[in-house]
Structure 1
């Protein structure tokens, strides 16, 4: 059998690799902008939180005065469980408050304090929208008149949500997803200051439509680095440290990165006014190369190995052939031996 020249084999192998690279690149570019992440227990995202609070839940500004507080803290989001029922996530936020407290006749005094918030959620598996949520948020505010007065405010929320339909997670730039929902919300607030306290509970049913619009793609720089992200405008279900927004509703501009498997930045708005933002500080999320499916990744690994194996086999075969002595086709023996004699003494 005729041997194929080695340079031609190398050329064919390189051609295969070039075609493979082009195919995978085309397949990667055909993916939707947002790639659904594969979460696992232990995934974590830590954010810097900054914002402002006009009034606290349960606080009667008319009777007690007006609070205007700046908020600075840290938010940590953890995936704590993955099961057929959904994704279990826990969020903890804490930080400091600084601002002013205003009372009648334009009298304003300094106010400072701290806040802490814990939320446990269950996300459905298709779009990762919350179907059950339980949260508690507490604020401690010190107001200094002639003496220091401490105000304590707490808000507890328990909500279950059903969706009439679930949108796909995967969306391209320019596409919009929506999900009509109904939520059963139980809220409780407590407030104590100036020698008296108040506790309220409320149950309500809220319905509406959650929406997400993919506006574009851009690089975003935050504390954790620079990321290729997709800018979204979407409805807000909740925001750490701003518990009242979970009840009143708001919207946000968010930047989602497939590399991170979550948001790298979120800015929340109420009545078109920015209130707070979160920026990614660090994360632990083992993700595959962005834009590639498991099959494409397997091809990227397997095909080059196969091509190299073929090249090595052909090279070894060629080297072995060089060391073997050629055999004639006329029945002659090995080199150095005389051909066998036939009858009559003639060869």
Structure 2
């Protein structure tokens, strides 16, 4: 009787834990689906608006070239993350078959999108920063001309990083682990190798980004000090507005990328279990990097903002015309 009573008292606890785990998965799944949806729209619009700008001007500007590359890489990266989430949560039977391919694609797109975001930050830097350093002066003068080489070089480095993982193929897959602490069923050795290669590939673009961010911050500091020396009270000068805009863009990128790195490392290493609340939070934060940050780029870029407003105005006019047509048709039918 005592044993039976003990079993009866333990079962509700087990059911509650199972229900909580299912609730976490359901909530995080819907949030991730929403992030994929809005991220796909934001990155897709970024690419289409930049291509339309090219069609009107018959040439690619530096900003448009970077935004097209960034939008395409993030669009693909977002869907890769989504498929990885599906496999780790609902499609465990496919892990053994597609894990290697997903890891190669993930590393390539992760590194490529990081490089393209870095070059966008550097673009802001060379447009607003004025320093007398000879290396920076030469780089600033030739940035637009060298940009195609920089973009293609970033692509080549990203491919090379994926090939580095190919030489260390992930063969130790434990399907039972995908429902436990390790979301994709990788062995601890394979997980460590994957995270190390991903971290090494992220170091060069992140260092370039830090240099660009430091130059923007230092330039803003100098401009602010110069304005105070000139006893100006208004902070609405065009130069400072450009600095503040660039600083916001750089700060948002840094914030979301650091969140993404920490969350992905915790999730993939198994520290944040997929079935726990921490794991659900990590999956949501991972998806915010290629989705929410792209939305902020849309709202902060003047050209993209104008294109977005023009798009909404056309939709509004189209809907208004349809309503008027429907009203006139109903009036004619009544008479």
TM-score, reference length from structure 2: 0.24
**Structure whose CA Rg is larger:** 1
Report the structure, 1 or 2, having the larger strand content.
1
TM-score, reference length from structure 1: 0.24
Q: Which has the higher contact order (CA 8 A, sep 6+)?
A: 2
